[in-house]
Structures are given as structure tokens and as C-alpha cells.
Structure 1
Amino acid sequence: MFLPNRNPLVLLPAALLLLNLPTHAQQPVKRDYVMTGAPLAKMPVDPKIAVALTKVSDARIKANIEKLVSFKTRNTLSSMETDLAPGTGIAAATEYIKGQFEEYSKACGGCLEVKVDEFTQEPLPGANARIRKPTILRNVYAVLRGTDPAQAKRIYLVTGHYDTIESDVMNDHDAAPGANDDSSGSAVSMENARVLSQYKFPATIVFVTVAGEEQGLIGSAHFAKLAKAEGWELEGVLNNDIVGGNTTPGDTLQDKTAVRVFAQGILPTLPLAEIQAALAVGADNDTPSRELAREVVDTARTYFAPAVRKQAYGTFAPVMELRLDRFGRGGDHKSFNAEGFAAVRFTEWREDFHHQHQTPRVENGVQYGDLLQFDDFKYIAQVARLNMATLATLASSPGIPQKVYVTNPPYHLDTTITWEAPLAASGEVRYQIVWRQTAASDWEYAGDAAKYMDPTTKSGAFSATIPVSKDNVFIGVRACDAAGHCSQAVAPMPAPGGRQQ
């Protein structure tokens, strides 16, 4: 039937219903990446980790930040000054942090190796150099050795910087409290040391506070080079910088339920051939740092679920940011990226630049300065818990799969992946294949690799074929133990010598 002044096409779906013919919208979608595997499930809760999270104390975090602020200035340059008031300057802060680590170690029967990475930075070039004479820097750290002889070689690290500046970056005498930037991150590292030192993990965890960040990431660069030179199997770095949950009166846009997690894409320092190979298959969003960030997000889904926290510490979620850092800025994780280590940065949702790198003062009715009054200690405790859950999970996992490749030709619609066991794998290791649509930033689906495994696979080397087109998804492989602690995923590259077209 035709109705005047109407578009007859709008009647077509109704007409098809009358004829009992299905419309396109009624057809079930049978996409390979949906039909294979299952939606990615949360990792099971480890009761030990769940209990550890409840031991994080915002009161202890506050006490540490108050003490750091009491040193008046922690400008890195103050390490060379002899006319500072007693109990002020960065050298006094160094001794305090070292003493706290030693107290934590004493409480766990000497389980922490407390060390100071001390070095002298020579003057930097340029008219605007922030170090103009030889200056002593000290990074303070504590090592919780893994209990598994093989897995102890694997290391995860948490860090924050304890140096500060005010408006004049060369002023090493006047007040530069740095309550947020970065007493907050230092307090996260210290609280993780206090709580996690009461537990044992197969892999090693290192708790660090570095100096020289405000002079150009100098302390972290030295520490990252130290790790590289000593051959550390450093599988992930969590850098916390400006995680104080800034609380400016009247700011309605701060989000106390979220923290940003910044993760580097392709390293510009990689050999050109490696950059080109990654770009050719779209792997620029599957760098080791971004896989680490995805594991932070995955961990949060487990340990910040209502059934786990039972209202003890409320809602909290990491938001993965697909860039190195905030626009045009940088932090200590960049130093570890530069040495080839996976590293991410945690930063509060919304910063207030009146309270960063400012001489404390009131000007035109506005309070300037990185002052204690603007820190939210309960927020910092949430960030500490997220770091803690991630470190404990990864340090309990078997480690990262090695030599992950796609081996079948690009014109095959299924996907064959090969990989080798983690370097220090011990005990039962289970492998999970994860994937996501190419427009998605986080893993969406997963399958037990054993279901797709080639039965002729040799020990330590694995091959699995999943009926999912590698054209429409990004794929990764991660290693899990029997209790469900999983490593970060590794995205496959085309096998060396494989056919490309």
C-alpha cells in the first residue's frame, strides 16, 4: 500500500516483519573474535593481596609527607650547601627516607636491603642549566628479594622523586615544600615498602625514591642506567608523580575516583628497522609500557570490585592515557623507557599549577605553593593500593612470555602464535591468549591457550592457532600461575623471515 507524501522506504522493515523475513538488525552477529574465547574475566582475588591493601594507612602516608615537608626545601642543589638550618635540605630528607626503610626492614626481620645510589653530577651545559657546579645526588632504595631462586631475578619497581623546587629553580634555601610534587609519590613508594615487606613474593620488588627530577630527570636516569649496567631483569616500573589528589577550594572538576596512567608508545630511540616493523603491523599501541598499563587496569578490576573491598576503601580506577606523559611534559618513567624498560606514570586526574613549582605566597587573594593543605591523604592511599596490588600480582606471576611471534602468512584468516616460556619460569605456568578489536585500547576477550595448542609443541616452546583473523584484532599472550596471577601480555610480531605482503 502506498501512502501519499510518505517515503515508502520507511515502511520496508514493517513490511518484512509482516512477511516474517528477518531484517539485517535481527541477524545474529557471528564475528570470529566474539565466537572464539570469552569476554575477558577479572583475575581471581588473592586473599593475601586483598588483606595487604587493607593495611595501607592514610595516617602513615600523611606522617611521611608532613616530615618531608618539614625539611623546608628539598632542592637537589641544597645537598652542596653548608649554611642551611639544622634539619633542613635534601640531605636531611635522604637520611629520613633511609631511616624509614631501615625501620620497615627491622619490622620484617631484615627482609629489606636498604641502599643509597650516590653519585656526583657534573655541571650541565647551556645557559638555562639547572646544575651549574658538581652536585651530589642520592637515590634511596630498598630491595625485597624474591623467595624463588629462579624468579628472584625478575624485578618490579615503584618510585617517586623526593626533590622539590619553588618558582626560582636555583633557589636552594627558601621554602619548597613539595607536598604533592612529589612527596605524594615518595610516600606511595614508602608505604608500599612498609606493607609489602610483611609478605613474600617469588619475584623481587624494589622501592625507590630518587633525587634530581626537577633538574632534568637526573636521579632516575642514573638509576635506570645502573639497572641496565647490572643486568637487572626489570619487567616493569611504576612511577608516581603528583598523586596527591589536589584539593583546591571551589574546584569541582577534580575526580577522586580516578588516577591517570601514562604509557609510552613506540620509543623514538629504537632502531629505525624496529620502528618500521612495528608500524607495519599497527603495533605502536602494544609497546611493553602500554601492556604494563593494561595490567594496572586489569588488576584494578579485581581488587577495587565491591565484593573485594567491602566498602573498606571505596571506588577507584586507573585511566590509561595513550601518551608518554601530559602534553609537552615528562617524568622519571621516561628515564626507564630510554633504557628499554617498561614504565608508566601515575598522576592525579586534575592538577592545579598554582600548587606546583611555586614560591609559597598569597597573591591577589590566591594561595600559591605546593602546600600540605592541598593534599588528600585518602586519595594518596588509594594510589598506593593500586600500585601495591599491581606489584604483588606481577611479582607473583610466572613472568613475561618470550619471543612471541605470528608465524602463519598474512593471507590466512586464522592466527598462529608461537612463544617461549618466561625467562625465570618455575612451577606450573598457564598461558592465556588475549585480544581486542583494533579500535579498542584494552583487552576484551581471552582464551585458554591450551585449547588451541599444537600437541607436538616442544617443552619450553609453544604454538597455538586461534580461529580469529589477525586483521581485525590485536592479540597478546600472557603467562599465569595456577592461582591466576598473570603477567602483562606480549603482542606478537611477524616471525623473523616470515612472508609479508
Structure 2
Amino acid sequence: MKIRLHLTYALVTALLIGSSLILVARARSEQRLVIVTYEGFSELQRLGSQALQIINYQAGVLAALCSDGQVAELRQAGFEVRIIDSTANLSLYYLAYPLPATDPQALSIALASFAYGKDAYIVKATSEQAHALSERGVDLFKLPDSIVVPSPQHRPAAVSAGLMYSPAVQSMVDAVSPTLLLHHVCKLQDRDSLTYCNELGTRYSYATEGLNEAAQYLYDQYASLGLSVSYHPFSYMGTVMTNVVAELPGVNPGSDHIYILGAHYDSTSRDSDTFETAPGADDNASGVAAVVEVARILSQYSFPHTLRFVNFAGEEQFLLGSSAYAKQARERGDLIEGMINLDMIAYETVPPNDHIVEIHAGQNPSSIALADVLIHSISEYGLSLAPQQIITDATWRSDHASFWSEGYPAILGMEDFDDLNPHYHSKRDTVAHLQPQMMVEYTKASVATLAHLASRPPQEQPPDVLEIEGYVRLNSWDGPGLSGATVRWETVVDSAVFGETSTDAKGYYSFEPIAFSSAPMLILVTASREGYDVEPPEGHWLWYRGDHELHQLDFLARMNVRTYLPIIAKHYP
């Protein structure tokens, strides 16, 4: 009887210990929304290699979902970490940019808002609250589940160092037609059933008839040029919208390298019934007209690299169209060398006629290199624009941001934001209030930039190399290292492709650089040692996308309950 009691006590003790470990594991697995402060692009890449679920980054700060263990690790490594939401819910987060004229109290209708970056906020809101915020003058971008931090070894898009004036490119630049550009703007702003170039059209994303009318017009324009054209549909809250995609295939070798010129074609208005009237001449019929005109000119030539001309729907609704397109491009493994986004390119105050335009490149060196090509083309071909390259305070409030989120080089070309069109998002955003020459010059710059980029010789693809390192910690994430643990990686498609190593006296492990002949690839990394339970128990899943990537994957080990049972029984005979 005594033995039974002791065994029962041992079993109950084991169950209690096991329950405690489960509760601890659950606590550690809970995700917190945090803001992490960092310095420089190299430090951003370091954070990107540590298996963090990063959902956005700005100059000097990033937003991520972290477990308590990851928060402790980041702080131990010297990073400033601020927990802004202890019960994270990815479906509710938006990046918000209130406009200067926005009511300061507008954000109060959201569930919560957190200061983040320059002039930006992270907003926690339901879809209904998000729409209400948009109506109050807040630009919103739906934050993704995770983003791809640009690879440190991504081939640079730069050709500006060797870019020289070309008479052939000059002839392409000279072919830009101001008449056709204005015609496209008129056709996009008007309602087809009324007189030509009327100001009563709408391309509001939920106004299906108006949006479809514009999509059909764009499809027909590209098809008439002999380009391969397709619709790229997506849906949001039961409404189907579509991007329009035209392609000029490259000539082998190099055809798998892709450059994209894009612009959103939807519109909105805050001072009218957007289902009826939202002409959107500057925002963004001007950018769309430029894309169509560039396609007309370049479609007459052949280039080594593929050119895509993409018009996005749903930009005014949290960048929905470009987010869907860029995500699928990444999933397909599209090798997008650069994306140029044109959004509002036809306005400036007169006077002073300073022709200032903004080129938003952000921190990715490959995006900066792409912006350099555009700026160099403006200079080389004597165009009447005064470009200002923006790196530190680059905005995420247009379609290029969707490509940043997928790790692609991308830039935004727009007019001077400090000289913002006063008719922005109103029924007065019409052809009558544009400065068409700004649009003409931007179109010429885009022709020259794409012609040079698409003509450059194909570069040899560097080998895909993956590096994995990390620690196995004992009892806590800041505890001592556990030596003698076995760490293993294997590909999910073929578990016969694997590697193993052991942790050293400090609990550190690393693998020799792993070279793959193809990517993307799903990889599982696990750690084990007899007598210990290791977190995460299922291991780390790693989606390897190619190029040179370094990932730090850490594990937490505790002596398992099964080890204690023989000891308990031995002391209670």
C-alpha cells in the first residue's frame, strides 16, 4: 500500500510538473507585437536572419511578432525592444499615415494606435474601422503576416556607373506623345456614356462597373500593342477586383530577369459619392497613362530582359492589388530585378515651377541603385525634372511597398509631397488642374530608365548558399549553453538531404554553408539531446528563398519529466 501511495504521488508530481511545463511553453509561444530599434541596413539584415516574424521596417525601427523568449534574446543582444501589444492579432494591424489636414483625433476610432517611424503609426483596427479611418483622411497599408528582409547578396540593379548616353534610347525618349498621355487621362477620368473627357467618372474599387470599364480600356490598349495581356483577379470582403498585366518577353539569355513598371488605376474621393464620381486624374490616371505610353514605345523593340507593365486595383484600399500580385510573384519565384511605381506625377504649383519630384528608394541598396538609374537618366537625357532621392524617410504608402515586403528592389516616383496637389482625393482631381508637362517628363525618364535596365547584359547567378547557426540554451533563453546537443537540418521534400552537427561547450552550433541548386525550399531544423525536452519541439521551419542567407536559430532545453520518475520511485520504496 505504501509503495502504491508513493507511486501515485510520483505520478501526480510528474503530471503537475508536466502541466507546468505546458503552461510555460504556452506562455513562451504567445506572440507579442513589438517595435525594435536598430541602426543601419546591416543591423536590419542581422535581425532578419534571426527567425523573427518581421511585418514591417522603417528607418531605425521595425515591427515584429516575438515570443517572450525572443524578446529576452533581443534585449540581451543590446536591442531596444518595446512591447506595444501583448496579445497580437495579425488580422488587425495597419500601417497608418495621417495626412497633414487629417483630424488629430481620427485615430481614436481604432482599437489602438502606436507611434512608429516618421509620421507613421501602427493601428489596430477592424476592417470597418479601417474603412472609416480611410474616409477621414488616413492612408492605410494592411500589414502582412511577415515580410522578406532584402538579401545581403541580392544582385544590384545599378547600371548608372556605366550608363552612357545612347542615340537609340534618345529616339525612344523623343517618341513620348503628350497628346496620347492626355488622351489616356481623359479616358480614365470620364464616364464612357457621357461626352469625351467629362469629369464624372469613377474608378472606385467597389464601383464594379467603373473599375471594370477602366480595366477593359487598359487591356485593349496593351493588346493593341501586341503584348501578352492578362487579368490578375483577387478579392476582398466579397468584392472581386483585378490587376491588368502586360508583358514584353525578354530574349534569351536573360529573359527570366524581370523589370516592372507599375501604377494603380483605382481612384477615390472624400467630397463626393465615390461610387458615382471619383475622376482621379492626378491620382492616379497620370501614372497609368505613363505606363501605357512607355509600353507603346518599348513594345516596338526587343530586350534581353522581360518587361512587365502592371496596373493595380485596390491601392486606395490598403494596397490590396499590389500586395496580392507581389506575394504571388514571390511564391512563383519570379526574379524581379526592380519595380518602378508611378503615383501622382502630373502636378506642381505654378509658380514656382521648380519641377521637384521625389524618388523614394528606402534603405535597400538595390532599391537605391534602381533610383540612381532613374536619376541618372533624367540628367543624361536633359529632362526638366529636379529629382530628390529619399532613403531614410521613404514612404510605404503606395504600391512599391508591396514589393519591399517581398524583398524585391522597388522605388516610387511621384511629385513633390511638400507641394501636394490640393485636389487630392476629391472630385476636383481632373485634367483641368494638371500640369501635363510634369507627366510628359516623368514618362520620358521612365522610358530611358527601362530601356537601359532591360538592355544590360545578363549577369551570372551566384550560387544559392544558406548558413545556419545558433545556440541551444539551458532552462532559460538567457541561460548557459547546453553542450553535446545534436542539431540537424533536412529538406522537407527529400529528408535524405540533411546535415548534422553538435553544440560546443558554450552551446553554440553552426553548419558549413549549404549550397542548393534551386530555390525556394522548405527546411526543418531540429535539436535534441537525451534526457532533455527542447523547444520548439517541432523544430524551426525555414523557408529558404535563395541567394546568400544567414539565419540564427536558437533552441531552449530543459531536463524532461521522464528523467525524474526513476529518481522519485527509488527514494520511496
Q: TM-score, normalised by structure 2?
A: 0.49
Aligned match for 1:264, one of 336, 343, 362: 362
Q: Which residue of 1 aligns with 2:212?
A: 91
SS at match of 2:180: helix
**Matched letter for residue 319 of structure 1:** Q
Q: Deviations over 1:7-46 (max 9, x none)?
A: xxxxxxxxxxxxxxxxxxxxxxxxxxxxxxxxx9773222
Q: Which residue of 2 aligns with 1:335?
A: 402
Aligned match for 1:141, one of 245, 249, 254: 245
CA displacement at 1:175 relative to structure 2:
1.1
**Matched letter for residue 202 of structure 1:** P
CA displacement at 1:90 relative to structure 2:
0.8
Q: Deviations over 1:157-204 (max 9, x none)?
A: 0011100000069x4422110000000111111111111001111110
SS at match of 2:316: helix
Distance in 2 between residues matched to 1:254 and 1:341, nearest whole Å: 34
Query: Against the structure 1 CA distance between its residues 337 and 494, is the aligned structure 2 distance closer, same or farther, given a 3 Å change threshold?
Result: closer
Deviates more, 1:69-78 or 1:344-353: 344-353
Q: Deviations over 1:394-415 (max 9, x none)?
A: 11112467669xxxxxxxxxxx
CA displacement at 1:47 relative to structure 2:
2.2
Q: Deviations over 1:304-343 (max 9, x none)?
A: 2xxxxxxxxx5334321124635xx611000001001000
Q: Which residue of 2 aligns with 1:321?
A: 390
Distance in 1 between residues matched to 2:340 and 2:243, nearest whole Å: 16
**Matched letter for residue 94 of structure 1:** A
Distance in 2 between residues matched to 1:495 and 1:212, nearest whole Å: 35
Aligned match for 1:357, one of 402, 409, 425: 425
Q: Which residue of 2 aligns with 1:235?
A: 337
Query: Against the structure 1 CA distance between its residues 495 and 400, is the aligned structure 2 distance closer, same or farther, given a 3 Å change threshold?
Result: farther
Distance in 1 between residues matched to 2:440 and 2:211, nearest whole Å: 24
Aligned match for 2:287, one of 173, 185, 189: 185
Distance in 2 between residues matched to 1:325 and 1:187, nearest whole Å: 24
Q: Unpaired runs of 5+ in structure 2?
A: 1-159, 192-200, 464-547, 552-573
Distance in 2 between residues matched to 1:69 and 1:342, nearest whole Å: 31
- How many positions carry a matched residue from both structures? 300
The 8 Å contact of residues 296 and 390 in structure 1, kept in 2 or not, is answered as yes
CA displacement at 1:494 relative to structure 2:
13
Distance in 2 between residues matched to 1:325 and 1:243, nearest whole Å: 17
Aligned match for 1:156, one of 259, 264, 267: 259
The 8 Å contact of residues 262 and 323 in structure 1, kept in 2 or not, is answered as no
Q: Which residue of 2 aligns with 1:302?
A: 380
Q: Deviations over 1:41-75 (max 9, x none)?
A: 77322222110111000100000000000131100
Distance in 1 between residues matched to 2:180 and 2:451, nearest whole Å: 20
The reply on whether 1:68 has 2:188 as its aligned counterpart is yes
CA displacement at 1:245 relative to structure 2:
2.4
Q: Which runs of 4+ in 1 moved over 6 A?
A: 493-496
CA displacement at 1:356 relative to structure 2:
0.7
* Seq. identity, %: 31
Q: Which residue of 2 aligns with 1:57?
A: 177
The 8 Å contact of residues 265 and 324 in structure 1, kept in 2 or not, is answered as no
**Matched letter for residue 370 of structure 1:** D
Q: Which residue of 2 aligns with 1:197?
A: 299
Q: Which residue of 2 aligns with 1:293?
A: 371
Query: Against the structure 1 CA distance between its residues 400 and 344, is the aligned structure 2 distance closer, same or farther, given a 3 Å change threshold?
Result: farther
**Matched letter for residue 289 of structure 1:** S
The 8 Å contact of residues 220 and 332 in structure 1, kept in 2 or not, is answered as yes
The 8 Å contact of residues 76 and 172 in structure 1, kept in 2 or not, is answered as no
Q: Which residue of 1 aligns with 2:560?
A: none
Please, what is the CA RMSD of the aligned residues?
2.7
Q: Which structure is richer in relative contact order (CA contacts within 8 A, separation 6 or more)? A: 1
SS at match of 1:244: coil
The reply on whether 1:116 has 2:218 as its aligned counterpart is no
Q: Deviations over 1:350-393 (max 9, x none)?
A: 543531112x3xxxxxxxx2111112222211101111111110
CA displacement at 1:141 relative to structure 2:
1.4
Aligned match for 2:163, one of 40, 43, 52: 43
SS at match of 1:95: helix
